[in-house]
């Protein structure tokens, strides 16, 4: 057994999960290129009855320990085999030792494998998490889902409670525990008391509905607790900039992003060299004043999507600013005053040293917030695997 002392198991498990997911996705794409798997809704489907399980490693660290031990045994056996090739005099003993290591390697039991909930386990949205999809999904949710699941997604409606199997709580961790492909399959083909929507909702609308459910769960969570209980990405939007550059927000991946909701009668903040800024629904998009924010978005869907994600009525949004980190995760919200580390609403469970209260001046407050945000990156598990961003 590998001792716990001095080992960062969260980091080890994260690396193992990323390797497992890359291995499976790589194998899937190779099989698809060879024509050995079928396509479902335009994406290759997982063709096997089992897949490596990320969920079990998050729940039971002993499985991660066993896997690490097995990999160590296997690496040692390969090293002995390499030495046998180079050292002819000791070839037989080295090969025997390597064979013994492989024979007695303590591979984890079947708990490392699980049957995928659907052949689309590895499917992801072809268009990504976007403001327009969130708003389209809201309309679909109102038409098709709200009677059972309720506006908050908790499922405690009269119709939902009258069903033999109560609807799941969509504002809980359900949407984060399951892969997007599994949720997509459930929408298309039904699950429990929910009927199949494959003949009523298109593939594109199913992904829009999933986008809305994620955004709505984030808004319900922040309204209830004052913070995002689980990571939510900054939705992609179109950009109109005075100078040639990015056409969409997603092109700024790797840079910090600030969204500023314009407030009538007030001058918006100036550009900030530490991040990329976007003015929402503002006339300053066409202004030529020095220091004004150079990029804007005046689409109604964008403000509606931000209202959903923040759990804030649209008429209360003016003056609001949102900050996303370099990986595209929404991390902080400000009502228009000076920034401080207290504005960060998405943190890990580990407290960040130096991220205390106290705003200081505007520049100092933003500096402290950015330092706290960069020192506390989001380690997000989706469907049992760690990922950097949702979209």
Q: How confident is the model at residue 4 (pLDDT cuts 50, 70, 90)?
A: low
- Render pLDDT for 116-125 as a digit per residue (tens, 0 to 9): 878 888 898 9
Q: How far apart (Å, rounded) are the C-alpha atoms in residues 197 and 210?
A: 13
Say if residue 161 is in the same domain as residue 277: no
Say if residue 184 is in the same domain as residue 253: no
Across the chain, what does the average pLDDT equal?
A: 84
Does 119 fall in a domain?
no
- Which stretches of 190-330 are DSSP H helices? 203-225, 300-310
Say if residue 245 is in the same domain as residue 204: no
Q: Which residue has the tokens 């405690």?
A: 156
Q: Which residue has the tokens 């609403």?
A: 345
- Render pLDDT for 166-175 as a digit per residue (tens, 0 to 9): 888 999 888 8
Q: Which of 262, 121, 379 is nearest to 389 (CA)?
A: 379
Q: What is the per-residue pLDDT for 265?
A: 80
Say if residue 87 is in the same domain as residue 154: no
Q: Which residue has the higher pLDDT, 390 or 335?
A: 335
Does 279 fall in a domain?
yes
**Helix, coil or strand: residue 338:** coil
Domain termination site, one of 82, 114, 146: 114
Say how many domains are in the chain.
Answer: 3
Does 38 fall in a domain?
yes
Q: How far apart (Å, rounded) are the C-alpha atoms in residues 266 and 333?
A: 19
Say if residue 140 is in the same domain as residue 211: yes
- Render pLDDT for 186-226 as a digit per residue (tens, 0 to 9): 999 988 888 899 899 999 999 999 999 999 999 999 999 99
Domain termination site, one of 86, 114, 142: 114
Q: Which of 324, 236, 314 is nearest to 281 (CA)?
A: 314
- Render pLDDT for 33-88 as a digit per residue (tens, 0 to 9): 999 999 998 899 999 988 888 878 777 777 877 888 888 888 888 888 888 888 77
Strand partners, 149: none
Domain termination site, one of 83, 114, 145: 114
Say if residue 184 is in the same domain as residue 288: no
Q: How far apart (Å, rounded) are the C-alpha atoms in residues 194 and 185?
A: 12
Say if residue 135 is in the same domain as residue 247: no
CATH number at residue 166: 1.10.760.10
Domain limits at 187? 131-225
Contact indicator for 194, 166 with CB cutoff of 8 Å:
no
């Amino acid at each position: 057994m590998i001792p716990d002392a001095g080992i960062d198991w969260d980091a080890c498990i994260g690396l193992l999960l990323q390797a497992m997911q890359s291995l499976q996705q790589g194998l899937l794409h190779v099989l698809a290129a060879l024509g050995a798997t079928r396509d479902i809704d335009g994406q290759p489907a997982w063709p096997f009855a089992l897949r490596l399980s990320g969920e079990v490693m998050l729940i039971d660290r002993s499985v991660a320990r066993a896997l690490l031990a097995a990999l160590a045994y296997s690496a040692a056996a390969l090293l002995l085999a390499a030495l046998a090739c180079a050292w002819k005099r000791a070839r037989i003993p080295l090969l025997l030792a390597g064979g013994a290591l492989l024979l007695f390697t303590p591979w984890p039991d079947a708990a490392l494998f699980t049957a995928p909930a659907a052949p689309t386990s590895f499917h992801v949205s072809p268009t990504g998490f976007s403001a327009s999809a969130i708003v389209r999904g809201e309309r679909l949710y109102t038409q098709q889902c709200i009677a059972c699941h309720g506006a908050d997604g908790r499922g405690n409606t009269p119709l939902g409670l009258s069903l033999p199997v109560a609807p799941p709580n969509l504002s809980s961790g359900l949407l984060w525990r399951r892969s997007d492909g599994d949720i997509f399959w459930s929408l298309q083909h039904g699950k429990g008391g929910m009927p199949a929507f494959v003949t009523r909702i298109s593939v594109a609308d199913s992904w829009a509905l999933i986008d809305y459910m994620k955004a709505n769960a984030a808004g319900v969570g922040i309204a209830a607790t004052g913070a995002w209980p689980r990571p939510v990405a900054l939705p992609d939007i179109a950009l109109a900039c005075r100078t040639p550059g990015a056409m969409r927000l997603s092109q700024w991946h790797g840079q910090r992003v600030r969204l500023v909701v314009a407030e009538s009668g007030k001058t918006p903040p100036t550009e900030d060299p530490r991040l990329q800024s976007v003015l929402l629904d503002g006339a300053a998009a066409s202004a030529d004043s020095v220091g004004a924010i150079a990029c804007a978005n005046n689409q109604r869907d964008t403000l509606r999507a931000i209202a959903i994600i923040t759990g804030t009525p649209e008429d209360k949004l003016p003056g609001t600013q949102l900050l996303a980190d370099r990986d595209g995760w929404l991390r902080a919200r400000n009502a228009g005053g000076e920034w401080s580390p207290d504005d960060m609403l998405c943190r890990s469970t580990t407290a960040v040293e130096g991220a205390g209260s106290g705003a200081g001046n505007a520049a100092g407050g933003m500096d402290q917030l950015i330092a706290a945000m960069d020192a506390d990156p989001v380690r997000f598990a989706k469907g049992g695997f760690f990922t950097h961003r949702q979209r």
